[in-house]
Amino acid sequence: MTENQRDTGPRHAVGEDRALTALDAALAASDADATEAFLTARSGEYTRFADTRVHHPQDIVEQQLMVRVVVDGHAARAATSRIEDITGTVHRACRAARAQAAAGLPGHAHPVAAAPEGRPDAPVRHPDTGTWDVGERSRLAGHAMDAARRAGGAAYGMFGRATTELAVATSGGVRVHTSATEAGAALTVKIDDGSSHWTDLGRSSTALDTHANITRAIGQARAARTPEELPDGVHDVVLGPLAAAEFLDFFGTFGFTGSALADGVGAVAERRGHQVASPLITVADDALAPVGLPIAFDFEGVPKRRVTFLDRGRVADAVTDLASAALLGTTSTGHAHIAREESPRAIPMNLVMSAGHTPEDALIAGVERGVYIQRFWYTRAVDTQATTITGVSRDACFLIEHGVLTRPVRGRRFTESVFGALARVDAVGDRLASKPLMNTWNGCASAPALRIRGFRFGSRPATSRDT
């Protein structure tokens, strides 16, 4: 189904006609040399529950129209949630750009996007998400809590759906709108001292297979009771898809961005073409893939392009927006982003690690002694040059003995190089799972399970870099 067909998905915050009318008004109100306007809107419905109750059932509608104007090579932005009354906002942006010019600042702002030739298609609307209304989600939450209670534990989580809209118009001829459904689920089950977690999100609520995953999570939490300590040291591991997806969060930090490339730092600037990971590993930013949260274009109206970061283990390319593309003398890959309380820059937003051909059970069967890790938690970069991150393992983690999961183990801190770990991958799972990317608009990371030969838990030993 295309986004222009009628469906019964979650309600729109704005809708195509209103959005494009507002953008047209913004362009008409501008007397700048060039003007770009984009509208983001999200109508979200979230059923959040904990143990005995749905404690945060929420409807949240957010919308913003932001304009960027260019005057004599100087650019400024202004934004408002009042999309029907945009004139004053446009004038504020124009005044700010003129003030920069009057102050004698260097005037080399990047231009706005021109109308593209053709437009990629992304599978963004699924009508089944329309049936996932507050009643259905509340019933599912009740079922999860009841089933966990019957198993001697408790369930916590959130089932939500949304319609996300993006519309862009520029004085260069761009005029586009997209409306995407979104369905997301997250569940943590605790039984005694055991726990399990499940997260997935995408455009279709049916694809989440929520009932089955509730049952699976309860079973895993039951199996994870009475965990024992995992000793520090190097272990062969099988990372579940959520644990593997955690690695993807850091590719922006590791230098797969136009700004890092322009500064001459990070993986692409310093190691392009180098074999840093196993040939089994291909990582890309691919907003056109039918996984996660596909979308066709970015805030600047530039069509999304697949950008390969690791091509069978070799460092490849970086994502760009119009600004970083101008610095690099190339074209934008469609990755403009503006994070809250940060300056605009291109970042990865739809990360996908390619699936392999090995079922997760077979990954586990290939480990004589090791550890299965369901997910990582609170991972943060320690050394972006060495691609070192730290975090802890958590929830349903088990020893692997003679190719099968045996005793549960407690979470443990790790500090590891992402490239180093990916270099030791010897098999890749056949199924992707998706998780949200923090602080990223429409951000998603999708990954398969991985088998890694040698993954260190505990403190990092001294290395030659320390001397």
Return the residues of window 198-227 that contact other proteins according to CB under 8 A.
none
Helix (H) / strand (E) element for 158: namely: strand 153-170
Write down the least CB distance from residue 438 to other proteins, Å: 7
Among 400, 380, 363, 392, CA closest to 232: 392
Nearer to other proteins, 40 or 446 (CB): 40
For residues 415 to 434, the per-residue mask of contacts with other proteins, x marking binding by CB under 8 A and - elsewhere, is x-------------------
Write down the least CB distance from residue 143 to other proteins, Å: 9
Contact 400, 238 (CB under 8 A): yes
Q: Is residue 1 classed as helix, strand or coil in its secondary structure?
A: coil
What is the token pair recorded at 405? 């999961």
Q: Does 287 bind other proteins (CB under 8 A)?
A: no
Among 1, 31, 72, 82, binds other proteins (CB under 8 A): 82
Write down the least CB distance from residue 173 to other proteins, Å: 23
Among 25, 145, 221, 316, binds other proteins (CB under 8 A): 145
Contact 194, 223 (CB under 8 A): yes
Among 121, 119, 123, 178, CA closest to 290: 123
Nearer to other proteins, 110 or 235 (CB): 110
Cβ-defined contacts of 132-139 (< 8 Å, 24+): 132/159, 132/161, 132/183, 132/205, 133/45, 134/45, 134/47, 134/57, 137/45, 137/47, 137/161, 138/47, 138/54, 138/57
Nearer to other proteins, 182 or 317 (CB): 182
- Burial-class residue 149 by CB neighbours within 10 Å (0-12, 13-18, 19+): middle
Among 87, 114, 131, 139, binds other proteins (CB under 8 A): 139
Query: Which residues pair with residue 282 across a beta bridge?
Result: none
Show contacts with other proteins in window 291-320 (CB under 8 A): none
Show contacts with other proteins in window 230-269 (CB under 8 A): 259, 263-265
For residues 108 to 137, the per-residue mask of contacts with other proteins, x marking binding by CB under 8 A and - elsewhere, is xxx-----------------------xx--
Nearer to other proteins, 169 or 428 (CB): 169
Angle, in degrees to the nearest 10, between helices 210-223 and 134-150: 20
Write down the least CB distance from residue 382 to other proteins, Å: 5
Write down the least CB distance from residue 178 to other proteins, Å: 20
- Residue holding tokens 């393992």? 393
Total number of residues that touch other proteins (CB under 8 A): 97
DSSP collapsed to 3 states, 213-247: HHHHHHHHHHHCCCCECCCCEEEEEEECHHHHHHH
Contact 43, 58 (CB under 8 A): no
Where would I find the beta strands (DSSP E) of 74-133? 74-80
Nearer to other proteins, 164 or 354 (CB): 164
Q: Does 27 bind other proteins (CB under 8 A)?
A: no
For residues 169 to 188, the per-residue mask of contacts with other proteins, x marking binding by CB under 8 A and - elsewhere, is -----------------xxx
Write down the least CB distance from residue 83 to other proteins, Å: 8
Q: How far is the C-alpha of 212 from the C-alpha of 146, rounded, in Å?
A: 15
Among 9, 94, 132, 156, binds other proteins (CB under 8 A): 156
What is the token pair recorded at 335? 């990755």
- The dihedral built from the CA positions of residue 211, 212, 217 and 218, taken in this order, carries a sign that is positive
With CB under 8 A as the contact rule, which of the stretches 149-157, 296-304, 306-314, 449-457 interacts with other proteins? 149-157
Among 87, 131, 406, 459, binds other proteins (CB under 8 A): 459
For residues 366 to 405, the per-residue mask of contacts with other proteins, x marking binding by CB under 8 A and - elsewhere, is -----------xxxxxxxxx--x-xxx-x-----------
Show contacts with other proteins in window 28-57 (CB under 8 A): 44, 46-48, 50-57
Contact 304, 238 (CB under 8 A): no
